[in-house]
Amino acid sequence: MKTFCVYCKVVVEKDEGTKPITVGAYKAVCCGEECFTNAANYVDFSRRRKILYGLGLAVSAILLFVSIFFFGMTETLGVAFFTIGWMLLGVATFMFPFVMPQTIEMMGIRKGMRLSRLVGIITILATPVWLLFLL
Ligand SMILES: [Zn+2]
């Protein structure tokens, strides 16, 4: 049965030196020792950092929400809260590049992590663009 390596997305034949791994609720295989180690590190990392990531997103959402109210009062505080909230969103996405199960299915963990990091960087870089609109 043909399947793919959950980490590098290379197509592998089952029982050909593949190693099974569970990613979240998702049963997958790796093409070899190296991908297995990387995938296992990712699983471990995402399990340990999930709460921190959620916290980052929550704080970011609160800051963005609060900034709306501050904009009505003092623009400086509004901009400050918005900028911090938005950059935190980018930093959290970059630091904790978790990959959705659908994305793993589509491109594997390695490319998915790169994509998440890219989205994080774009988010951070987009901050001045937002400020142009707001100021
Ligand atoms: Zn692989």
Say how many Å lie between the CA of residue 39 and the centre of ligand 1.
9
Q: What is the pLDDT of residue 103?
A: 93
Residue ranges in the chain modelled with pLDDT below 50: none
- Identify whether the C-beta of residue 18 lies closer than 8 Å to the C-beta of residue 12: yes
Say how many Å lie between the CA of residue 24 and the centre of ligand 1.
18
Q: What is the pLDDT of residue 1?
A: 60
User: Residue 21: which residues within 8 A CB-CB, separation 6 or more?
Assistant: 6, 28, 29, 30, 36, 39, 40, 43
Show me where the domains of the chain are located. Answer: 2-134
Q: What is the pLDDT of residue 24?
A: 80
Q: What is the pLDDT of residue 71?
A: 83
Q: What is the pLDDT of residue 82?
A: 93
Q: What is the pLDDT of residue 18?
A: 87
Say how many Å lie between the CA of residue 94 and the centre of ligand 1.
23
pTM for this entry: 0.86
